[in-house]
Structure 1
Amino acid sequence: MKNKLRNGIALSLIPQIILVKWLAGHPDWVERFYSNGIYPWISQFFRSLFGWIPFSIGEIIYTILIVLIFRYIIRNRTKIKTQPLVFLRDNIMVLSVFYFTFHIMWGLNYYRQPLAITLAVQEKANYQDIKKLSEALVAKTNALQMQITGDSIAIVNLPYTRNEIFDKTIGGYDGLGVQMPFLEYPRPSVKKSMFSIMSSYMGIGGYLNPFTNEAQVNKKTPVFRFPVVVGHEIGHQIGYSAENETNLIGYLVTLKNEDIYFQYSAAAYALAYCLNAVNRTDEKDFEALYASINEGVKKNYRELQDFHEAYENPFEPIFTSIFSTFLKANNQVDGVQSYSRVVHLLVGYHEKYPL
C-alpha cells in the first residue's frame, strides 16, 4: 500500500470522530436511519452467514489477529525502533479502519434513542420507589422459589443444559417480539464462548462480536444466572448497546418466558440489582429486606458469589477499568456503573406494568 493512501486512511480518523460525535447529538436520526434502517440488514446478514456454525468465527479471527500482531512486532522490531513515526502512522491507520468498521457494523447503536422513550417509561427513580420495588421483588422471588421447590430452604437448580437455555431464550424472544416488535429477533445465533475460562477471570458474562454479530456467552456462568445473561447478549445483537438497556431486555425476555425457572432467574436477577441500590443508601433497610428472602434464594446468590470468588484475580480491576473506559468513550458516561442503572428502568417499567 502506497504511503499517500496510508496517510489518507490515518488522517480520515479525525473526520470520522467528528461525524460520530455529531450523530450523538441526533439520536432520532440514528434510531430511524441506522438502528431501524441499515443495522437490521447488516446484523441479519452476518447471523445468516455465521449463525449455523456451532463455534465462534469471531473468536477464531480475534485469535489469528493477536498472533499476527505479535508476529509483526517480533519480525519488524528493528524497523519499529528506527522508524517510530512510520509505526505510529500505521497504527493510526489500523485504528481508523477499526473505528469505521466498528461503527458501521454495530457501534452507532450507542447513539440511538434511549429505550425508555421507546417503552414510554421513566428512567429516574427515588429511593422510596426502589425500596418499594425491592419489596415486591422479594415477594415475587420467594413465591417462585417455593413454587419450584416446595421448601423455602431448598436451592433452585435449573434442569436444563446451556443449549436448551439458548433454545428457550430464543423462544422467549419470539413471544416478546409479538408484544414489543422492536425486540424481534430474526435469524437467531447465540454461542458458548471458547474463551469462557479467560472471561471468568476477567469478570465477563458474555459479549457481542460487533464484526461478525455473534453473541458469545460465558459457559462457566452458573446455570441459575445463565438465562438472563443469554437474553442480555441477544439484546446487544438486536441493536441495543447501552448496558442498562440490555440488562432490562434480558430481564424482560426471561421474566416473560413461560418457563417458571426462567421467571425465577429473572426475578432473582432484578432483586439483586435493587438490593444493591438499597444498600448504597440505607444499610438497615437492606438488612431487613435481605432477612426476608427465602434461604433457598440466598443459596443461589451464594452460588453466584462462590463462582466469582473462584475466578478472582489481581488483574480483574485492570480489565474492569479498561472496559469502563471503553463504555465511557461510547456514550455511557457511567462506565461499568451503567449496568446498575437498570434499577431506574426497572422502577419505571414496573410503575407502568406492576409485578
Structure 2
Amino acid sequence: MKISLKNAIALSLVLQIIFVKWLGSHTDWVENYYSTGLYPFISKIFRSLFGWIPFSMGDLLYFLLIIMAIVFFIKSRKTILRNKLKFLRDIVMVLSVAYFTFHLMWGLNYYREPLAVKLKLTETKDFQELIDFTKQLIQKTNEAQFFITQDSSIPVHIPYSQKEMFQITVAGYDNLKIEHPFLNYSTPSIKASLFSTGLTYMGYAGYLNPFTNEAQVNGLLPSFRFPVVTGHEIGHQLGYSAENETNFIGYLVTAKNKDKYFQYAAYAYALGYCLNDLHRRDPEIFDMVFSKLSPGVKANFQEMNVFWNSYKNPMEPVFKSIFNSFLKANNQTEGIQSYNAVVSLLVAYHKQHPL
C-alpha cells in the first residue's frame, strides 16, 4: 500500500526524534561535524542574507506565519471539523518539517560538547568559593560604578545608542577571539526586535531566530543590561545553545571590552546571578554581602526590578512554562533554571583568571 507524501513526512517526525536523541549521545560527532563543521557555514550564509537589513526579518516571518495560521483556521474551520484526522496529520506534518529545519539550521548545537570542556574548566558548587567570588564581584562593580559616575549614589546609564552598543559588542568579540579563537564572530546580524513590547510581556530579554540566524535584543531593556544581552544572543549565533553558556559568553565578551560602561554592565550582570544563588542558599549571608553594595549599584538593580515588574501579566508564567518545556526537550535538563547555572562557570573561570 502506497503512503502519501504528507503521511510519510508526518511519520518521519518519530524517526527524526529518535535520530536526534541518538546523535545527541555522541557529542564529539555533533561538535566536530556540525557545530564546528556544517553550522558555521549555514549561519554565515543567513547572516549575509539578512544581516544588512535594518529590521528583523525573523520577527516578520513569525508575524506572517501567525497571521496566515489565523486566517487559515477561520476560513477552513468547517473543513477542519469534518476532517479532524486529516487536519491532525497536517499539523504533525508541519511540525515534522519545522523540527527538521530547526535542527539543521541551529538546534543540533544543543548536543555539542559543553563549553567548560573547551575552556578546560572544572565546575564546582563550593559555597565558600561562591561567597568569595561574590565579594570580589561587589568590589569590582562598586569600583566600576564610581569610576563612571564619581558618586557612589548615582546609577549608571550607558550614554550610547543601541546601534553603537551593537558595534561596541562586535568590537569586543574582535578582541576576545585573540584569547579564545573559537569565539570569532564575523558577518554581524544583530537587531532590536520589532516586537520588543511583546517580548517584555513574555519576560524575554532577547532571542535568536534559528531560521534566519538574526540575534534579536529587546529594545526596551534598561541601557546597562543591553550590552550583555547582545553578547548573549551573539553567543547563540556562534553555535552555543545552552543558556548558562551564552550567559557566560555574554558576560565574558562584555567584561573584557575596553569600554568602562560595558565592564560595569558585565560585573553587575554576573553579580545579579551570584547574589540570587547566595540568597537561595543562605539568606543571612546574602544580607551581609548585599549590604556592601554601593547605593548606585543597588539603584541599577532596582531599575531592572521596576522594569520587569511593570510588565508582569497573567500570561508571563505560561510563556515561561512553554520555554521551560522547550529547553528540557532540547537537552537542557534544568529548563529555564539553566540560566542560573552560569554561576559555576563564572566561579570556575575566575579561579584560573582572577578578577
After superposition, where does 1:17-166 map in structure 2 within 5 Å? 17-166=17-166
More divergent stretch after superposition (342-351 vs 116-125)? 116-125
Please give the per-residue CA displacement for 1:227-258, whole angstroms capped at 9, x wherever unaligned: 00000000001100000000000000000000
2:4 is paired with a residue whose SS is helix
Cα contact 1:142–1:294 (8 A) shared by 2: yes
User: How far off is 1:80 after superposition?
Assistant: 1.0
Please give the per-residue CA displacement for 1:62-81, whole angstroms capped at 9, x wherever unaligned: 11111111111111111111
Q: Percent identity?
A: 57
Cα contact 1:125–1:348 (8 A) shared by 2: no
Q: Distance in 1 between matches of 2:161 and 2:310?
A: 22
Q: Distance in 2 between matches of 1:231 and 1:289?
A: 28
Q: Distance in 2 between matches of 1:64 and 1:225?
A: 30
2:43 is paired with a residue whose SS is helix
Cα contact 1:199–1:218 (8 A) shared by 2: yes
Q: What's the TM-score once normalised by structure 2's chain length?
A: 0.98
Match of 2:169 in 1: 169
Please give the per-residue CA displacement for 1:122-156, whole angstroms capped at 9, x wherever unaligned: 12221111111101101110111111111111111
Question: Match of 1:245, as an amino acid?
Answer: E
Does residue 182 (structure 1) correspond to residue 155 (structure 2)? The answer is: no
Q: Distance in 2 between matches of 1:95 and 1:124?
A: 39
Q: What's the TM-score once normalised by structure 1's chain length?
A: 0.98
User: How far off is 1:215 after superposition?
Assistant: 0.5
More divergent stretch after superposition (96-105 vs 2-11)? 2-11
Please give the per-residue CA displacement for 1:59-100, whole angstroms capped at 9, x wherever unaligned: 111111111111111111111111111001000000000000
Q: Distance in 2 between matches of 1:57 and 1:154?
A: 39
Question: Match of 2:23, as an amino acid?
Answer: L
Q: Distance in 2 between matches of 1:322 and 1:24?
A: 22
Question: Match of 2:146, as an amino acid?
Answer: M
Match of 2:191 in 1: 191
Does residue 330 (structure 1) correspond to residue 353 (structure 2)? The answer is: no
Question: Match of 2:96, as an amino acid?
Answer: S
Match of 1:271 in 2: 271
1:215 is paired with a residue whose SS is strand
**RMSD between aligned residues:** 0.9
Does residue 288 (structure 1) correspond to residue 288 (structure 2)? The answer is: yes
1:207 is paired with a residue whose SS is strand
Please give the per-residue CA displacement for 1:37-56, whole angstroms capped at 9, x wherever unaligned: 00000000000001000001
Q: Distance in 2 between matches of 1:237 and 1:104?
A: 14
Q: Distance in 2 between matches of 1:236 and 1:13?
A: 25
Does residue 344 (structure 1) correspond to residue 344 (structure 2)? The answer is: yes
Match of 1:308 in 2: 308
Runs of 4+ aligned structure 1 residues displaced above 3 Å come to none
Question: Match of 2:114, as an amino acid?
Answer: P
| Total equivalences in the alignment | 354
1:208 is paired with a residue whose SS is strand
Q: Distance in 2 between matches of 1:152 and 1:75?
A: 61
User: How far off is 1:315 after superposition?
Assistant: 1.1
Question: Match of 2:315, as an amino acid?
Answer: F
User: How far off is 1:3 after superposition?
Assistant: 7.0
Q: Distance in 2 between matches of 1:186 and 1:121?
A: 26
Q: Distance in 2 between matches of 1:155 and 1:210?
A: 35
Q: Distance in 2 between matches of 1:344 and 1:199?
A: 28
Q: Distance in 1 between matches of 2:161 and 2:153?
A: 24
Match of 1:205 in 2: 205
